[in-house]
Structure formats: C-alpha cells, structure tokens
Chain A
Amino acid sequence: MSAPQLSTDRAGSQRPKKAGLGEVILRAPKWLLSLILPVALLGIWQFVTTTGIVAPWSLPTPGAVIAAAGELLEGGDLGKHIGISTQRVLLGFAIGSLLGLVFGALVGLSKLADALLSLSIGALRAVPSLAWVPLLVLWMKMGEDSKVTLIIIGAFFPVFTTVSLALRHVDAQLVEAARAFGFKGLKLLRTVQLPAVVPAIFSGLRLALAQAWLFLVAAELLGASMGLGFLLTDSQNNGRIDRLILTIILLAIFGKITDALISLAERWAIRRWT
C-alpha cells in the first residue's frame, strides 16, 4: 500500500528551539510516520479479537478478514465488484467534472449565465444526494445509468463551484493588461483566464473524486447487484461481518489511492501554473 507515502498534507512545521520529542519523531521519514497509526490499530484489533475481549460475531479477527478476501478473490467475485465500482466512479467522475468545468466557466465568465443559472444550480445542489436515488431508479431502472448519473451529480458540484468562483477572481489587472494588447473572447480565456484557474480546477477535481466515491456507495447501497456498495448490503443481510469490514477497508484504500494520484497531478499543476 503506497498511499501514505503519496499523501501531501502539511509538512511538519519547524520550530527553532530545543529538540523536543515531537521534533525527534519528525526526523523519521514521513511514510513511516503515516503508517504508525494503521499498524497500531491493526495490533489492537488483533489483540482484542484473539483474546476474546470483543466477540467474533461483532468483530472478526484480521486473519478472518484476509481469509474472506482470499475466498472472494478465488471465486472471482471480488475482482468483479471492484472492477464495476471503479468503472462507475471513473465514468461518473469524468462526465460530472467535465460538465462542472463547462458550466463553471459559463457562470464564472458570463454575467448573463450567472444571472440565469446560479439560482437553479444552487437549488439542485441543496438536494441531499440520497434524495435522487428513488427517482433515478424509477426513471432509469436498476441499470448502470442510474448509478453513473448519481455519481455525475456528485462530481459536478465541486468542480462547478470552484471553477466559477476562481474565474470570477482572476486578477483583474492581468486581464486588463491582456485586453490592452488586443486579447478578447476565447483567446483571452485561453491565454489568461483558464491558465489562472488551473490550480483551482485541480482542487475542484480532487473534491469531486471524493464525492464520486461517496455517491457510488449511496447508489450501490440502494439498488445494485454488483459493486462494493452491493457487497456491503449483501454482507449485512448474510451476517458476513468479515466481508463487511473487508469492503470498508477496500473503500478506504481505493479512495486514498485515487486521491493520492490526483493530488500528485494537483501539485504538478500548481508548480506549472503559478
């Protein structure tokens, strides 16, 4: 699992004074520090389950979860569930963020579009994600469309909001300077406005991806025959708590990996475009 290494979050701030315990610990490589808590949790988990402090029917041992994974892998089911979930997330994320980019640019650049669209989009945004599910299932049945549509809705808003806001706050002096040199319309957008909001686009994409996983599980919990969300409800119904925990861990891992990938891209974009 390479995710912790890639996580970007705050670098340890350096204090000039005496080297306290915190500072000594901070000298260790960051990926090692990130692993301390998961490993400790795993240890505690192992301890409380093998000593019988927690009953196996409320929490299986780590070994049992790994066994469940092996069992599912062998049957080919796990690969299928993961594959279909990943496909839904990526498809919904791609379409949703593209739409978010287009509408965000429209609302951010055009006062007319802002006046016409902002209220409606804001109202749509206020609808809780789960409220869409019955309607989408009714309209599009249980197939892929309903799930991907829900994820599109989830991915759309973060990109839309960050892009429209960022475009409205592009340095007016830069825009004026470019206008003085005769740049206007699409050429102005391409030369000044879009490059100026590239970092914002990436932070919007990052939020959108997190939302996409969120909405995936919502969609799959409430009506699916495959996927990680389905595996959750299925395991709950069959009392397979080992599979339940396995699924939760898998969601954490995949969410973190995709987030780490996009944060790499984000860092590159910030270096390149600021």
Chain B
Amino acid sequence: MIMATAYALPHTDVAASTSTALDVNFANVSRTFSTKKESRTVLRDVNLHINAGEVVVILGASGCGKSTLLRSVSGLDAPSTGIVSTGAHQVDGINELCAVAFQEPRLLPWRSVRENIALGLAPKTEAGAGAALINELLELTGLTHAAELRPREISGGMAQRVSLARALARRPGVLLLDEPFGALDALTRMNMQDLLLSIHASFPTTVLMVTHDVDEALNLADRIVVLGRTEDAPGATVVEDLALNAAHPRSHSAEDFIAHRAHLLRLLGVDPANH
C-alpha cells in the first residue's frame, strides 16, 4: 500500500502519551424524536459492547440512526432510554473522553491549520506539550507543510486530515468518526482509510466509525455492526455483529471478503449480484 509508506509513521511520542483506550457500552439504548405532531423512533433497544482498542464500523442505510448512536457517545445527543458509557464514565452531557470527526471538516476559517488542531487539545494541556503534540500530529497526517495555511487554502482531503488531527489532539479514549470520508472523492477516500489504519497502529484508541460504504467497512473494521429495522417494531437496532480477523491490508478478492460483502449488501437491501 502506497499511502502506508507515504505516511510511514515517525517514531513519535504520540503513542507513548496516549491515554488509555476505553471500551464503550450501550445498554438498552433507544431514541425517539418527538415533535408536537408525531414521535418517531429511530433507535430501539441497542445493546452493544465495544472493546477497548477495537475498530468498530457501524453500517446502515441512510437515516437509520447511525449518527444518532454516535452522537449519544459524544454527548451531543442523549438517548431517550438506556445508558451509554465509556469506560467507567456514564455519558451525561458532552463527553470529554472522546473526540469527534464529522463528515464535514468543520474547521474555523479564521484559524490556521495548526490553530485548528490546537482546538482539540484537552483543556489543561501544558503549552509546550501541546505544541509538541500538534507537531507530531501534523507529521502523522502529512500536513507539516500546510501548518500555517487557512482552511480555504487547502483541499477537501487535507481539511479532513486536519479534522482527524484535531480529534486526535484530544488524545481521546474513544475516537468517533461520523462518515468522515463520505464527502471525499474515491481516491482520496482510499488514502484516508490507509491513513486511519496507520494512525490506529501508532495511536491504539478505540475507534467507532459510521459509514454506509460496505467496502470501507470491510477494509477497516475489526468488527462490523449493522443497524437495521426488523419487521415487528419501529426503529433500528443491531441486526448483525460481524467480527473480521483478517490482517491489513485486506485483499478484496479473498473468499471471506467477497462472502462478507455479499452478506452485508443483502442486509442493507442491495442485490449483491449487481454490485
């Protein structure tokens, strides 16, 4: 893999300084959105345990509640019933143990790349240590040359790397990725997937990622969780929990890969014979 070498990781202190990866637990999590006129159940009885350090990809059709599940971990949204916890911490309000990268980079346009990454630093980070960490992250994401540029001066793929670096600056116990590569072109997306794997190798935090791209899931995940509806009740719940053991990089022509792909596509309501 070309990018793996392009982003060959320097022997940084990032890994050494990592806060410990945390496990994530969803216990009977449901979420219902209510308006005056109607109430709509999006998630129903989600029970899921994610081990510390695992890369878990959540797959599901559009609007099935993938992002809502992720937001319940970050504390941007709260479940209607049930409990979400990261490590020993039960999520209530913004969860500072995790960090989020969204589908859009969401960078502050008036700040340089470096200053945007600094936004992710944990509040009590000492200045010297913070600066060193940012330099390491810039190197890790191949952005050192762009550190002083503004977001409008860099490409979409670079902006998404900044967003990733900003999340890592938090040294999160759980890294939450909400379709982070969804808006990128196909080639950039592949490079970003490789980057994510190298980051995870040197920075072994728990990664919880949402996507609707089956191939992306099969490339990256230690485990794939599919959210979907069952016929008897409203709202999506876990309909498949698939462990993948193959080492990276994964061959797309391997038998497992093809079988898993067909199985997942069928679960998502797509005829694998056509794709």
Q: Which of B76, B104, B109, B166 contacts A179 (CB 8 A)?
A: B76
B102 is an interface residue with CB less than 8 A from chain A? yes
How many B residues have CB within 8 A of the partner chain? Answer: 18
Among B17-25, B31-39, B92-100, B264-272, the stretch that binds chain A is B92-100
Between A181, A182, A195, A196, the greatest number of chain B beta carbons within 10 A of the residue's beta carbon is seen for A181
Interface positions of B from 118 to 165, Cβ below 8 Å from A: 119-120, 123
Residue of B with least CB distance to A183: B119
Known: A173-B102, A176-B76, A177-B102. A182 touches B123 (CB 8 A): yes
- Known contacts A176-B76, A191-B119, A195-B108: A181-B102 contact under CB 8 Å: no
Secondary structure at chain A's binding surface: helix, strand, loop or mixed?
A: helix
Docked pose: A179 CA to B119 CA in angstroms: 11
CB–CB B104/A173 < 8 A: yes
Q: Nearest Cβ distance between residue A45 and chain B, in whole angstroms?
A: 48
Least Cβ–Cβ distance between B116 and chain A, in angstroms:
10
B94→A180 contact, CB < 8 A? yes
Let me know if B223 is at the binding interface, CB within 8 A. Answer: no
Give bound CA distance, A177 to B108, whole Å.
10
Collect the chain A residues with CB atoms within 8 Å of residue B94's CB: 179-180, 182, 184
Do residues B119 and A178 form an inter-chain contact, with CB atoms below 8 A? yes
Set of chain B residues within 8 Å of A176, measured between Cβ atoms: 76, 106
- Chain A residues positioned under 8 Å from B106 (CB to CB): 173-174, 176-177
The verdict on A274 contacting B110 (CB below 8 Å), with A177-B100, A180-B100 known, is: yes
Number of chain A residues whose Cβ lies closer than 8 Å to a Cβ of chain B: 18
Task: Tell me, rounded to whole Å, the shortest Cβ–Cβ distance linking A215 to chain B.
Answer: 33
CB of A174 within 8 A of CB of B123, answer no
Indicate the member of A173, A180, A184 with the most B CB atoms within 10 Å: A180
Residue on B with the closest CB to A184?
A: B94
A273 within 8 A of B: yes
Name the residue of chain B whose CB is nearest to the CB of A178.
Answer: B119
A174 CB, min distance to chain B CBs, angstroms: 6
The one of B102, B110, B120 in contact with A195, judged by C-beta atoms closer than 8 angstroms, is B110
Interchain nearest-CB distance for A251 vs B (Å) = 36
Give chain A nearest CB distance to B136 CB in angstroms: 19
> Could you say which residues of chain A place their CB within 8 Å of the CB of B109?
273-274
For residue B75, which residues in chain A have a CB less than 8 angstroms away from its CB?
180
Write out the residue numbers on chain B whose beta carbons fall within 8 Å of the beta carbon of A273. Answer: 109-110
* Bound-state Cα–Cα, A116 to B106, Å: 33
Q: What chain A residues lie within 8 Å of B108 (beta carbons)?
A: 174, 191-192, 195
- Chain A residues contacting B66 (CB-CB under 8 Å) are none
How far is A273 from B104 in the complex, measured between Cα atoms in Å?
20
CA distance A180 to B120 in the complex (A): 10
| Residue A17 CB within 8 A of the other chain | no
Chain B nearest CB: distance from A204 CB in Å? 18
Question: In the complex, which residue of chain A has the Cβ closest to the Cβ of B167?
Answer: A181
Q: How far is the CA of A274 from the CA of B153 in the complex (A)?
A: 12
15 inter-chain pairs at a CB distance below 8 angstroms, sorted by A residue, are A173-B104, A177-B100, A177-B102, A177-B106, A180-B76, A180-B99, A180-B100, A182-B94, A182-B123, A191-B108, A191-B119, A195-B108, A196-B110, A273-B109, A274-B109
Residues of B within 8 A of A (CB): 74-76, 94, 96, 99-100, 102, 104, 106, 108-110, 119-120, 123, 166, 170
The list of the 8 closest CB pairs from A to B, nearest first, reads A177-B106, A273-B110, A180-B100, A182-B96, A173-B106, A195-B110, A180-B74, A182-B94
Besides A179-B76, A180-B76, 10 new A-B residue pairs in contact (Cβ under 8 A), listed by A number: A173-B106, A174-B106, A181-B166, A192-B108, A195-B110, A196-B110, A272-B110, A273-B110, A274-B109, A274-B110
